[in-house]
Amino acid sequence: MKFDILTLFPAMFDGPFSESIIKRAVQDGLLDIRLHDIREYAVDRHRTADDYPYGGGAGMVMKVEPLAACIDKVKAERPAARVVLTTPRGRPFDQALAGELSHEDGLIIICGRYEGVDERVRELFAVDEVSLGDFVLTGGELAAMVIVDAVARLVPGVLGSEESAAADSFSDGLLEYPQYTRPAEFRGAKVPEVLLSGNHREIARWRRHQSLQRTLAARPDLLASARLSEEDIKYLAELTEGRRN
């Protein structure tokens, strides 16, 4: 899968893509991550990438010309790629969208800066706006890294056979059950007996119940679209019994 990232701060990406799973996937040729410095597409003497907003107001706006030149260049190299702009006003990014994007041939991710990018970028290019949540960053770079990470791990072969994406949180729309490893007791805190029992049916049942409990407690909104069995629904009914809501 090909990722092309358009940014004024390419050096921000040095760390996250040079470690662990993403690094290995790039080395193995499964991922091709390219960084494009938007400033290199500014043609004026000072390589200006921002300017004052028409109509006045606080802060600066990312100029359209350097960004458009950069998009033109990258689109010519990647005609099939989908163009994404990270912004708080975009479509909420979730596991379903990560899965959808992982089937694309390539992604061109535009990282905004300042108060935002000149609106004409959205007008002139087919741009999908994506948001990581209702908060404001100093720029889209960190959001782009999150998107690359979440999408890349869904590309076949990126996770080893040890780590499979299938059994993760959200694969069935529930939060993950608690995990433990050795020692069986630490500072008086014990690993639940059932996990040491070797009874795999009981272990699976306990884990499912834990997932349901946690989801009900922390993210009850997820239960509406989770894939639940008759037994799950019975268990949830038991959990909520005695409550009035």
| Positions marked active-site | 88, 115, 153, 168
Q: How many CB atoms lie within 10 A of CB 121?
A: 20
Nearer to ligand JAH among residue 58 and residue 167 (C-beta): 58
Nearer to ligand JAH among residue 66 and residue 139 (C-beta): 139
User: Which residues in 84-113 contact ligand JAH (CB under 6 A)?
Assistant: 86-88, 112-113
Nearer to ligand JAH among residue 81 and residue 111 (C-beta): 111
CB of 174 to ligand JAH, least distance (A): 24
Binding pattern to ligand JAH, positions 163-202, x when CB under 6 A?
A: ----------------------------------------
CB of 143 to ligand JAH, least distance (A): 4
User: Which residues in 113-152 contact ligand JAH (CB under 6 A)?
Assistant: 113, 116, 131-133, 135-137, 139-140, 143
Maximum Cα–Cα distance across the chain: 72
Alpha helices in 153-229, H assignment, sequence order: 193-196, 200-218
Q: What is the 3-state composition of the chain as percent helix, strand, coil, each rounded to the nearest 5?
A: 40, 20, 40
- Helix (H) / strand (E) element for 64: namely helix 64-77
Q: In Å, how far are 27, 164, 178, 213, 235 from 229, measured between CA atoms? A: 42, 23, 20, 15, 10
Under 8 Å between Cβ of 86 and 111: yes
Q: Which residue's CB atom is positioned nearest to ligand JAH?
A: 112
Sign of the four-CA dihedral 174, 180, 186, 190: positive
Nearer to ligand JAH among residue 4 and residue 50 (C-beta): 50
d(CA 40, CA 66) in angstroms, rounded, equals: 8
The residues binding ligand JAH (CB under 6 A) are: 86-88, 112-113, 116, 131-133, 135-137, 139-140, 143
